[in-house]
Structure 1
Amino acid sequence: MSTGLELYDRAAQAAAGTVITAYSTSFSLAARLLGTRVRPHVRNVYALVRIADEVVDGPAAEAGLAPETLRRVLDELEAETLTAITRGFSTNLIVHAFCRTAREAGIDSSLVRPFFASMRTDLSVAAHDARSHDSYVYGSAEVVGLMCLQIFLNIGASSPVTPSAELRDGARRLGAAFQDVNFLRDLSHDATALGRDYLGVRAGGAARTEVLDRVDADLAAAAAVVLQLPSDCRRAVTVAHDLFAALAQRLRADDGIGQDLRVRVPDPVKATLAARAMLGFGPRGART
């Protein structure tokens, strides 16, 4: 039986897996297609991201925390995360799981700090302009793509691997596309429940089309580099890419569906996309 740090690591990893399973069926589908080399590490990253999201997106406030307390809790989570990366241990199981991954993959404060900066923005900014949107998306989504890229290239590597500029751009643009699709899907909820407008497109029309055009361009750029990833990562990234491409297509097809009904990809379509990736096809629009 495992004991000591090995057992603690396994408990932390299991806790991260529980968080992901509870919060995202689509992510769980894609994660299952990752190779065992990287799968737990990607889950560890997304578990921390989800916990930080919950600090600013409602549950903490529902527990009775005042706005100034929410900021303090978020600051404490960031400080604990950065300390754990240096120390190699945290009493917070989700943070411990993340720091284990960060240390192995070469994820450092240059990616962690922008993420928490964006989370803090949710406590003070209700409506974004183009500049603040881009800054928010970089911290909340693009750096998460870069963290995953670090995992894909560095877990199990004999020496640190520096991602190419092309791969970094693809990771950032895939993260940005995911985030903008989620903004469009959640327009009504963000406005009514959270009092936020990330896109300035509540009225739809040309602004909404511009966002979808940007999403399509970002997805195309990301698709072009997926085949440069290690083979045990491509299927999962392909499924995630194609799921969000399908969501974008559905949002474009009905200009009002994202306003009051959260658009989703039906389970049979998800299964088809997963089967296509399992057969070795790259993301739609990828270079061959």
Structure 2
Amino acid sequence: MSDTPTGLALYNKTAQDAAAAVIAAYSTSFALACRLLGRRVRPHVRNIYALVRVADEIVDGPASDAGLDAASERKVLDELENDVLAAIDSGFSANLVVHAFAVSARECGIGADLVNPFFSSMRTDTLRTEHDTASHNAYVYGSAEVVGLMCLQAFVNAGRSHPVAPDATLADGARRLGAAFQEVNFLRDEQDDRARLGRDYLDLAAQPEARLAVIDRIDADLAAAAAAIPLLPADCRRAVTAAHDLFAELSRRLRRTSTDGARVRVPDHLKLLLAARAWAGFAPTRTDGPEPARSEVVS
């Protein structure tokens, strides 16, 4: 008997291959971190991030380049959100990225409580260009913290017959890691966001002295997330450690870099070193100073 999938199994595999292709095309760093995940979890995280990337592209340029105005972008987002929720309910979508996400959502217990805030934040990008504290926090929750929670659902529930709620400490760590990722990217993309998209997520144009406080907040979130990583299932810890350490390195570079320079990056050789360190089982690097602290190996 042939092991080649047919029917829905073939469609599921094709959808997940499409999601993997989206991730490979848009983020070499994320694709590298995904390879550190166990096979149980890896396709689900790719499926989640592929949907996130497609939604991002609706509001971050390509849709506008195609001629869509803000109202049209919101309409596309509404249609995508409705398709996602319908696919979670039915188990099928004609959109391969949505179908892949729905496969993971149904297995791992990702529902409207996480999907709706995400799309709400995406719509915010079409409605406002500046943020106060309340709108900033709501945006970060929907655009980043819930993505961390979606991934946590996969970490905890992939392969289970019935999803369970993650531990509260893990949930807090997932939210704070997502927030740190987002705010690092706000700082890295600050000039481009303002010049190309007309957005100011951190209100640093009016108060540039607040930049250090943002970096302090990032480091506090990274430290809290690092404390939760040892509680993750073993087949997830290496990948999350590698991602954590990459953003900890970005935070260190942001702390010692002026706002006038090029976009802060981590060289490829250092990315590989951080991934190798995570693969070897070292604990996440500390974020309480400009240099990484010596860490112990964890199982």
> Does the C-alpha gap of structure 1 residues 281 and 70 become closer, same or farther in structure 2, counting only changes over 3 Å?
same
**Distance (whole Å) between structure 2 residues aligned to residue 49 and residue 162 of structure 1:** 22
For the residue of structure 2 that corresponds to 1:180, the secondary structure is helix
Counterpart in the other structure of 2:108 = 105
Structure 2 counterpart of 1:148, from 141, 148, 151: 151
Structure 1 counterpart of 2:167, from 156, 164, 167: 164
Counterpart in the other structure of 2:193 = 190
Trace 1:229-248 onto structure 2 (pairs within 5 A).
229-248=232-251
**Cα pair 1:188 1:260 within 8 Å, conserved:** no
**Distance (whole Å) between structure 2 residues aligned to residue 159 and residue 90 of structure 1:** 22
Deviations 1:213-249 (CA, angstroms, capped at 9, x unpaired) = 0000000000001000000000000000000000000
Counterpart in the other structure of 2:211 = 208
How far 1:158 sits from its partner (Å)?
A: 4.3
> Does the C-alpha gap of structure 1 residues 205 and 68 become closer, same or farther in structure 2, counting only changes over 3 Å?
closer
Counterpart in the other structure of 2:289 = none
Q: Any gaps of 5 or more consecutive residues in structure 1?
A: none
Counterpart in the other structure of 1:269 = 270
**Cα pair 2:107 2:160 within 8 Å, conserved:** no
Aligned-residue RMSD, C-alpha: 1.3
Structure 2 counterpart of 1:217, from 216, 220, 242: 220
Matched, 1:253 2:256: yes
Structure 2 counterpart of 1:96, from 94, 99, 108: 99
Deviations 1:144-190 (CA, angstroms, capped at 9, x unpaired) = 00000000000112442211111110000000000000000000110
**Distance (whole Å) between structure 1 residues aligned to residue 63 and residue 208 of structure 2:** 35
Q: Any gaps of 5 or more consecutive residues in structure 2?
A: 287-294
Q: When the two structures are aligned, how many residues end up with a matched partner?
A: 286
**Cα pair 2:107 2:163 within 8 Å, conserved:** no
How far 1:205 sits from its partner (Å)?
A: 4.2
- Whichever residue aligns with residue 197 of structure 2, its letter is L
Trace 1:18-37 onto structure 2 (pairs within 5 A).
18-37=21-40
**Cα pair 1:38 1:152 within 8 Å, conserved:** yes
**Cα pair 2:107 2:161 within 8 Å, conserved:** no
> Does the C-alpha gap of structure 1 residues 204 and 22 become closer, same or farther in structure 2, counting only changes over 3 Å?
farther
**Distance (whole Å) between structure 2 residues aligned to residue 30 and residue 203 of structure 1:** 36
TM-score of the superposed pair, with normalisation by structure 1: 0.97
How far 1:202 sits from its partner (Å)?
A: 3.0
How far 1:203 sits from its partner (Å)?
A: 6.2
- Whichever residue aligns with residue 223 of structure 1, its letter is A
**Cα pair 1:204 1:255 within 8 Å, conserved:** no
Deviations 1:101-122 (CA, angstroms, capped at 9, x unpaired) = 0000000000000000000000
**Distance (whole Å) between structure 2 residues aligned to residue 191 and residue 242 of structure 1:** 27
How far 1:204 sits from its partner (Å)?
A: 6.6
For the residue of structure 1 that corresponds to 2:93, the secondary structure is coil
**Cα pair 1:104 1:155 within 8 Å, conserved:** yes
Deviations 1:114-150 (CA, angstroms, capped at 9, x unpaired) = 0000000000110011111100000000000000000
TM-score of the superposed pair, with normalisation by structure 2: 0.93
**Distance (whole Å) between structure 2 residues aligned to residue 225 and residue 112 of structure 1:** 24
How far 1:29 sits from its partner (Å)?
A: 1.1
